[in-house]
Amino acid sequence: MKRVITYGTFDLLHYGHINLLKQAKAFGDFLIVGLSTDAFNEQEKGKHSFFSYEMRKDLLSSIRYVDLIIPEENWEQKADDIRRYEADIFVMGDDWEGKFDYLEQETGVKVIYVPRTPEISSTQIREMLGTKDS
């Protein structure tokens, strides 16, 4: 069984998120999603989520591609999560290209960057609604 892991905030869930999750799941049999906690978003990323962690978790759990959701509490936990959940593949959107290449040497995981859905983003939705990230 191939295990895939990805991370994100997944706020204002949209078809770009679904596309990412679908692409990630296509690389394996079991998809683990590290979901950014509210504290991590606010303290480390400088963002305020529209939906709470629990609401975002409930939304993600209803998506057929997602098999397990874990909390993402800091930037450094990725290597430990990869080992703990025995992930074979690490997937992120290509806007993160190169940022997680170190995980290949550190953990042996294969790192893959997938194309983002160009016509949609959470930032774009916030702008259209007249709200800001923080």
Task: Give catalytic residue positions.
Answer: 45, 47
- Residue 43 CA to residue 47 CA, distance in Å, equals 8
> To which residue do tokens 């978003």 refer?
41
Q: Which of 133, 132, 123, 125 is nearest to 46 (CA)?
A: 133
Neighbours of 129 (CB within 10 A): 10
DSSP-assigned letter for residue 96: G
The alpha carbon of residue 94 and the mean position of all alpha carbons in its chain are separated, in whole angstroms, by: 12
Strands 68-72, 89-93: parallel, antiparallel or unpaired by DSSP? unpaired
